[in-house]
């Protein structure tokens, strides 16, 4: 009996998984790893796209809001078919009887269908700038650029995103035309991501000049 017990005990100690069992276990483990990795990559890509979209939205809203609020209280809207030099080169030291800066006294229309990517106006007067300031916005190098009082153009958008469309439409800027000046701004921008297509965004706003047109 003792010899038989020792044989049975020794056989149980030497027992193990068969080759088929090992292959099945390895296959199941490999499939689980692939599924987990795929889910992780999908979640990572979704997170990257969500973050990129939020960054793009925040940057473009800031740029659009800052332009709109400044144009709202400005006057003498001017449209330019071609980009201006850097710096623009306007004469802004003198004003006419209406307080309009020299070079901006002739307002321009750029109606729908003839929008422009370069737009200038005279900002609201302040104690520091009693005549207001010359503000110019234009698109250059896939960025929205801003010039103040003939200074060099400075980007107002994040260097990581790219603007491929900036259009200004102005109606009624001329005096005594029975129309209150109004400006519509259209922007299309995109932000490249490591995986997948770039995140893009279209934004539009319309502002009406607060100052009563005379």
pLDDT digits (tens, 9 = 90+) for 74-124: 888 888 877 777 777 665 555 554 555 555 555 556 765 567 788 888 888
Rg (CA), the chain: 33
The structure tokens listed for 14 are 């030497």
Q: In the chain, how long is the greatest CA-to-CA distance? A: 125
Phi, psi of 137 (to 5 degrees): -115, 140
**pLDDT, tens digit, 9 for 90 and up, residues 19-59:** 777 777 788 878 878 777 767 777 767 777 788 888 888 88
- In terms of DSSP H, where are the helices of the chain? 2-13, 19-72
Average pLDDT over residues 167-184: 77
Q: What is the pTM of this model?
A: 0.71
Q: Is-contact 139 166, C-beta < 8 A?
A: yes
């Amino acid at each position: 009996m003792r010899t038989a017990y020792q044989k049975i005990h020794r056989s149980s100690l030497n027992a193990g998984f068969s080759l088929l069992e090992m292959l099945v276990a390895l296959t199941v483990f490999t499939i689980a790893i692939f599924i987990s990795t795929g889910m992780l990559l999908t979640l990572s890509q979704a997170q990257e796209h969500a973050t990129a979209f939020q960054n793009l939205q925040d940057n473009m809203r800031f740029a659009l809001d800052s332009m709109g609020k400044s144009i709202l209280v400005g006057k003498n809207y001017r449209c330019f078919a071609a980009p201006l030099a850097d710096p623009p080169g306007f004469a802004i030291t003198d004003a006419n009887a209406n307080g309009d800066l020299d070079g901006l006294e002739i307002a321009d229309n750029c109606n729908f269908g003839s929008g422009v990517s370069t737009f200038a106006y005279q900002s609201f007067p302040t104690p520091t700038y009693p005549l207001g300031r010359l503000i110019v916005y234009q698109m250059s190098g896939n960025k929205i650029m801003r010039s103040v009082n003939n200074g060099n153009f400075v980007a107002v958008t994040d260097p990581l995103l790219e603007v491929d469309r900036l259009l200004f439409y102005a109606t009624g800027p001329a005096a005594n035309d029975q129309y209150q000046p109004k400006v519509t701004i259209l922007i299309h921008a995109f932000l490249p991501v490591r995986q997948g297509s770039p995140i893009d965004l279209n934004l539009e706003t319309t502002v009406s000049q607060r100052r009563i047109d005379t």
